[in-house]
Structures are given as structure tokens and as C-alpha cells.
Structure 1
Amino acid sequence: MKTVTGLFDNYSDARAAVSALEDLGVPSDDISIVSNNVGDRYGTANESNAAEGAGTGAGVGAAIGGVGGLLTGLGVMAIPGVGPVVAAGWLAATAAGAAAGAVAGGAAGGIIGAMTESGVPEEHAHVYAEGVRRGGAVVTARVDNALYVDAEAILRRGSWVDPDQRRASYGEQGWTRFDETLNPYTADEVEKERIRLQSLR
């Protein structure tokens, strides 16, 4: 098994990637999505289908989106330094469990540890976590070696974010790494970041 990960600036592209991975034959249990949900932008507060079990102490809420597979199990949780997210899958559960069991001042945030333990390079994990903090979404999948090339191609479609380029963009603002002790972005800050990123394209 190998791990493939993609960062997207918007939830709809991340959702499309999840669906494409499932269509490729990657089991839903091996796919995760974590997307910023500041201001409840995806309307989860008004949904009624509760999705339980995304992680210990995660405050999992209502399911949203999708007609089958992983996307029917999306729930609401909070990740230190990132804030409110809609999430589903093993990465969300691992991040939530790590956050719940973390000792103050201990290892890097739950989401960083969850990604690096699954094989994501640490320098990329910090970019992915910061990307979610700033309004984006990350999709991670554990795939059989035979599906690796196709799965990676799926995650590089459309508005996939190159982690090296994004690191450079964040670095221009003085950023060096994800810091779970910082306040999550507000809805206004997320919107300003979206505008900034669009101006760089």
C-alpha cells in the first residue's frame, strides 16, 4: 500500500477527487477528506443525518453531500489550529484521536502526525494542514501499488495544489510550518486568502 495526498483550494474539487478514487476502485475505508468549514459554509448545522465515529472526542455532527461511499459519512469536528472541518475517513479519525490524547506542548498537531504516520512527507504535511487552516481541503488515500499511478493522477487533476509552490507562497508571508497553537482562520480571513490565491494564478 502507498499513500497519495492532494490539497485543493475548494471543497467541491476535493469531493470530486474522492468520487473519482472510489470509481477507480479504492475502497471508501482507505480514503479520507478533511475540509475547512469555518462559518458552517457547507450547511452541516442544518442537516439531520448524524455521522458517528469519525474520531474520539471529535464532536462529529451531521453528514453532508454525496449519494454513496465516503461522502455520505462526512461529519463535523474540530482540529487544533485548523478549527471546524467537515471530515470523514481514517485520517480524520487518527487526527481526532491524536488531538484528544495529545499532551500540551507535545508532538506536532494531530493532523500532522496522522499524515506523516501514513507516509506523507513531513514538509508536505505542514503545507496540507496549513492549506486546510486557510480554507482548503485535503484528500488522502491508501492505495494498492497497482492503483498508485492512476490514483495520483486523479489527485493532480483540476485545481490540485502543488505543495512546493504553495509552501513558497506561504513563505512569502513569513510562514515556516503549521502551528496548532495559532487561532484558526476566521471566515473573513479565509475569504481574503482565497482572493490572494486567485490573484497569484
Structure 2
Amino acid sequence: MKTTITGLYDRYEDAKAAVKALENAGVSSDDISIVTNKANGDVDVEGQGNRAGEGAGTGAGIGAVAGGAGGLLTGLGMLAIPGVGPVVAAGWLAAAAAGAVAGAVAGGAVGGIVGAMIESGVPEEDANFYAESVRRGGSVVTARVEGDHRASAEAILKSSPRVDVAARRASYTEQGWTRFDEAADPYTPEQIAAERDRYRVNRL
């Protein structure tokens, strides 16, 4: 039986490295997802041969989000998520979000991501936290792995500088956060930069 593991990263480059390491270890691209905030300034999907720029407001341009022969990252596409804004994403989690947006379900895009994570075994509290983290400029990598491969896959996710979820959630709570709100305004690039600076200082 497959279980879902998740890694949160402040830098897209770290999340991308985690995805590549999972693929190199034999985890199928179909069982990996990446969702990252486009406004964090790290992500460039131009020139990758996909339709990332199309349908950003509708999800129609997400393209081949399920990975493919070239690996998960070749299927990156862009869509808009209520409360988050534009995200660059690929994989099964992104496909759920794209389907919700394309179906014009009110609030369905975020519900799709949070709901898909919950259905795959991620606690609701954690799913809301990860959605909020993407809103604040983070990158989330998820992988579905067989139970006996969980420890090795977790080690791979930790090989990139992964966010301490408990400490980050405590920081959000101190700021008055309780759960992800899809009706909230997306973070601006300036707010995301300030958020990243806050945690960069905390790591020094």
C-alpha cells in the first residue's frame, strides 16, 4: 500500500533537486508532484516546450502535468489558485487542481489540492499548512511510495534543505494564522521576499 510523504522548501531549486533525486531513486514521475508559487522569482517555465503560459486563469494550460518520458519537471505548467495566485506545478496533485479550475468549481482549485492531500493520507491540518506555505512563496513536493520505501524516500526529501514543518507552523500561528483561506489575497512578490528574509535570518 502506498503512503504519501511531503517536503516543504523555501527555494524552488531545493524542491527541484528533491524531485530529481526521487526519480533517480526509482520513484515514478506519476507518483511525484511539485507545486510552487510563481511569484517567488525562482521559477522559469519559459522555453520548456509546454503551454505553461496559456490558460493561467483557467487551468486550461496546465498541459501534461503527469510527468512523462522526460521526467516530472518537463511537464511543468502554470495555473491560478484562489488565495495563492499563479503556481507552477506538475504531477498528480497539480492535475487535481487543474481539473478543479477547469471545471469552474468555486474554490475548487485549492479544495482540489487540499482534498487530494487529505485523501492520500495527509492530515487536514497539514494540508492546510502546505497550501498556506505555497501562498507565502514555498514549494511543496509530494511522493506516493510503498510503505517499505518510505524511510528511504523521506531521507531523499531531507537531502535538500527542507523546512522544519513544526517550527514554521508555530511561526504562522504566532502571526495569527489558523488555516488556509482561499478568499485571502495572494501574497505579493514583496511580501514573499519579506517572508523569505524572515526565515533566512532565523536560520543564521
TM-score by length of 2: 0.85
- Structure 2 contact 84–134 (Cα < 8 Å) conserved: yes
1:24-103 equivalence runs, <5 A: 24-38=25-39, 41-44=42-45, 46-47=46-47, 49-51=49-51, 57-60=58-61, 68-101=70-103, 103=105
Match of 1:172 in 2: 174
Q: In the superposition, relative to structure 1, how do residues 98 and 119 fare at CA in structure 2: closer, same or farther (>3 Å)?
A: farther
- Structure 1 contact 79–96 (Cα < 8 Å) conserved: no
Match of 1:2 in 2: 3
Q: Distance in 2 between matches of 1:152 and 1:117?
A: 20
Quote the offset at 1:100 in angstroms: 4.2
Q: Distance in 1 between matches of 2:186 and 2:40?
A: 11
Q: In the superposition, relative to structure 1, how do residues 163 and 49 fare at CA in structure 2: closer, same or farther (>3 Å)?
A: same
Quote the offset at 1:162 in angstroms: 2.2
Q: Report which stretch shifted further, 97-106 or 85-94.
A: 97-106
Query: How many equivalent residue pairs?
Result: 193
Q: Quick check: 1:15 aligned with 2:16?
A: yes
- Structure 2 contact 78–88 (Cα < 8 Å) conserved: yes
Residue among 144, 152, 155 paired with 1:153 = 155
Q: Distance in 2 between matches of 1:106 and 1:49?
A: 28
Q: In the superposition, relative to structure 1, how do residues 26 and 199 fare at CA in structure 2: closer, same or farther (>3 Å)?
A: same
Q: In the superposition, relative to structure 1, how do residues 186 and 169 fare at CA in structure 2: closer, same or farther (>3 Å)?
A: same
Q: Distance in 2 between matches of 1:120 and 1:49?
A: 33
- Structure 2 contact 33–143 (Cα < 8 Å) conserved: yes
Q: Report which stretch shifted further, 104-113 or 89-98.
A: 104-113
Q: Report which stretch shifted further, 67-76 or 27-36.
A: 67-76
Q: In the superposition, relative to structure 1, how do residues 48 and 141 fare at CA in structure 2: closer, same or farther (>3 Å)?
A: closer
Q: Distance in 1 between matches of 2:152 and 2:5?
A: 10
Q: CA RMSD in A?
A: 2.5
After superposition, give the CA deviation of every residue in 1:101-151 in whole Å (9 maximum; x if it has no partner): 465478973321121111111111111111111111000011122211101
Task: Structure 1: state its 5+ residue gaps.
Answer: none
- Which amino acid in 2 is paired with 1:81? G
- Which amino acid in 2 is paired with 1:159? P
- Structure 1 contact 47–62 (Cα < 8 Å) conserved: no
Match of 1:190 in 2: 192
Q: Distance in 2 between matches of 1:197 and 1:139?
A: 19
Q: Aligned to 1:161, what secondary structure does the other structure show?
A: coil
- Which amino acid in 2 is paired with 1:185? Y
